[in-house]
């Protein structure tokens, strides 16, 4: 039977994998423009009852979570984003998840004991997050915080279709 510590570790592993993913999106925001700021929300799109963590122009609202979201916190101060910028933003999360998997997987074999196992599990969870974000679909409604939204893979697919459509109009 699982003890409370094991449950907490599993929840932290899942949350850390989502944090890595959302940081990928946030990094693309702040690299886009010197004025751009990003916010990461793990769990609900709320600041209440969450740990606030500021990392330069990225502000994170953290809690134990099975989902996350990242957005630009100051869009009114920025020029409208292009399709290329939207494509990079949408791809940032899955890329971070994949890089997180590769990096943490190899690190997990350099560290022995329980910590190595935990790092390995974060790596595996990051791979799962990569696949569930890269394969295009709409989140089902029973997922409270993201239900009905497009995942990153579907956003990427739709942006690529829009870019192709614009190229056909120009030529």
Other residues' Cβ atoms within 10 Å of the Cβ of residue 13: 18
Residue with tokens 């030529």: 171
The answer to whether residue 1 scores a pLDDT higher than 70 is no
Taking alpha carbons only, the member of 152, 111, 121 closest to residue 135 is: 152
State pLDDT tens for residues 82-92: 999 999 999 99
Instruction: Confirm if 136 and 156 have CB atoms less than 8 A apart.
Output: yes
Both structure tokens of 147: 């239900």
Mean pLDDT of 160-165: 95
pLDDT at 142: 87
Report the alpha-carbon distance of residue 103 to residue 118 in Å, rounded: 14
Of 22-26, 54-58, 66-70, 165-169, minimum mean pLDDT range: 165-169
Instruction: Confirm if 60 and 11 have CB atoms less than 8 A apart.
Output: no
In the sheet with 51-55, reading across from the earlier edge strand, the strands are 51-55, 58-62, 38-42, 68-72
Report the alpha-carbon distance of residue 112 to residue 119 in Å, rounded: 10
| Structural domains of the chain, count | 1
State pLDDT tens for residues 38-54: 999 998 888 999 999 99
The answer to whether residue 171 scores a pLDDT higher than 90 is no
pLDDT at 17: 98
Residues 6+ apart with CB under 8 A from 30: 36, 37, 38, 56, 57, 58
Model's pTM, two decimal places? 0.94
The answer to whether residue 60 scores a pLDDT higher than 70 is yes
State pLDDT tens for residues 148-158: 999 999 999 99
Helices (H) and strands (E) in the chain, counts: 4, 4
Per the structure, the complete domain to which residue 21 belongs is given by 4-170
> Taking all residues of the chain, what is their mean pLDDT, rounded to a whole number?
94
Report the alpha-carbon distance of residue 101 to residue 122 in Å, rounded: 8
DSSP H helices, 65-151, are 83-108, 113-134
Instruction: Confirm if 146 and 67 have CB atoms less than 8 A apart.
Output: yes
Mean pLDDT of 107-120: 96
pLDDT at 95: 98
């Amino acid at each position: 039977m699982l003890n409370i510590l094991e449950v907490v570790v599993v929840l932290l592993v899942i949350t850390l994998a989502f944090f890595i993913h959302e940081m990928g999106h946030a990094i693309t925001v702040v690299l886009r423009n010197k004025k751009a700021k990003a916010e990461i929300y793990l769990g609900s799109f709320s600041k209440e009852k969450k740990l606030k963590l500021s990392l330069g122009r990225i502000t994170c609202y953290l809690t134990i979570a099975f989902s996350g979201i990242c957005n630009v916190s100051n869009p009114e101060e920025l020029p409208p984003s292009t399709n290329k910028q939207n494509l990079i933003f949408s791809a940032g999360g899955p890329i971070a998840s994949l890089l997180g998997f590769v990096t943490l997987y190899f690190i997990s074999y350099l560290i022995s004991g329980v910590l190595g196992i935990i790092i390995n599990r974060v790596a595996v969870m990051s791979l799962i997050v990569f696949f569930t974000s890269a394969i295009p679909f709409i989140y089902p409604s029973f997922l409270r915080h993201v239900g009905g939204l497009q995942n990153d893979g579907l956003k990427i697919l739709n942006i690529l279709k829009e870019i192709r459509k614009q190229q056909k109009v120009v030529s």
